[in-house]
Structure 1
Amino acid sequence: MKTFTYTQMRSELSDILELMRAGDSVRITQKNKPDILLGNIVTNTAIETLKRQLEESPTEIIKRALEESPDEFTKALLHTQTKHAAIIKKLEDK
């Protein structure tokens, strides 16, 4: 979180708005007054995206993860397989 004085806010409003668009929060101070905290809010678009993701099946989520970042997914899969190898082996034997 970055802090700006009221005077700075007035002169640097465009830069402050860009920070907030990037997801940062800011604190505005003014002499003899309580500080004001400003932050980016979750938009309707983000909410709709989350709802859509919650409706996806696990298979769809895995496919999307592979498409978006195959290296990260492969590392996570390998870690899980290594960590739970004994359990996976017992399940395969059944």
Structure 2
Amino acid sequence: MRLIDHIVRLMVAGILAILLPMIVYHSMWDANSSTAGLSTFEFARVMLTDWAIPVIILGVLLSMAMIGASYLVRDERIENLLWEQEGEK
């Protein structure tokens, strides 16, 4: 079992060693790129007009995930339920 763990770790490290340089040294990161970057105003305009619906859907999904996570984390042991019902005395 430990051998498999070490092999998986080596594979992940190898994949990262291959992918990270490919991403870091890609031509899209060149400073002399012909495309100009978005200004803050242009970014806000695009997010609030072109991407408004996907951003709203993403916000709803993230809210549902957080509510679900808080529901799953709650403690339902009988001692805690009785303590909550009795209150502080």
Whose strand proportion is higher, 1 or 2? 1
- Provide the TM-score with structure 2 as the length reference: 0.29
Q: Answer with 1 or 2: which has the greater Rg.
A: 2
Whose helix proportion is higher, 1 or 2? 2
Say which structure, 1 or 2, has more relative contact order (CA 8 Å, 6+ apart). Answer: 1
- Provide the TM-score with structure 1 as the length reference: 0.28
